[in-house]
Each structure stands twice: as structure tokens, then as C-alpha cells.
Amino acid sequence: MSTDSVEEDSNSNNSRPPLWKFVTVEGKISGGGNVRFTCNYCNKSFTGSYFRVKSHLLKIGGTGVAKCLKVSSNDLVMMQREQGEFETRAAKVLPKQVPLLTSNSRTNSFSSSASTGPSMGTRLMIISH
């Protein structure tokens, strides 16, 4: 393997969510990013997306997937760190948010035009007579 391919592999791993390496993906299921996967710690199988992988391995309750009882506290801390670093990197590459018009700015423009002339409702009533 050349140095270039090693760098490409490590770069592609930086963009891949880190917890995938702790499960075995058995196959893609139709619809979205759902797959069938087995936890490498407890050997339980699940169907779902990365959200379920993360919930299972990081022992996040209330998500509809069982917490992994085989992940040690040391491994949990390591996984949480890796996931946090990944989320930080991912947030940096997201596009900047552009502010949208708010309902207040639209209301103000309508109310200023309404004060200078008849309202749209009044115009419709005049047209209908």
C-alpha cells in the first residue's frame, strides 16, 4: 500500500462517524441510512441508522434502543471523546446559517403599506360588488 492511499484512508476515516468501527454492518436496508448491525461488544443485532449505533454504545437512554451493558467505563469515555471530536469537526464544515425573514419583518412591511391605503380585504370587497 502506498503512502498516498494510507493518507486517503485516514482522511476518509475523519469524515466517517467514529462509532461505526465498534459494530459490524451486516447489510443495508431499504430506506434512508438504515442498516442491520451487530454490536462488537455484546453481539446484539439491531436495525437502524448511526443514531441507534451511538445511542447503544454511548448508553443514551430514551432512544428506543437498549444500552450496551458490555461497554466498560474506560471504553465509554474513549467513545464519548471520539464522538465529541467528530461532532466538533463536522460542525466546522457545515455551511454558515443565513438569517431568514422573520414573521415580524413581514408583518411590519404589511402594516406599513396597510396604513397608507386600504387593506387587501377592503379591496377584495370593493371588487366583489
Among 58, 31, 33, 56, residue whose Cα is nearest residue 45: 56
Which secondary-structure segment (H or E) carries 38?
strand 35-39
Question: pLDDT (tens digit, 9 = 90+) per residue, 22-31?
Answer: 999 999 998 7
Among 22, 5, 8, 23, residue whose Cα is nearest residue 82: 22
% the chain with pLDDT above 70: 69
**pTM score, whole prediction:** 0.64
Res 98: pLDDT = 78
Question: pLDDT (tens digit, 9 = 90+) per residue, 46-89?
Answer: 999 999 999 999 999 999 999 999 999 999 999 999 999 999 99
pLDDT of residue 37 exceeding 50, the answer is yes
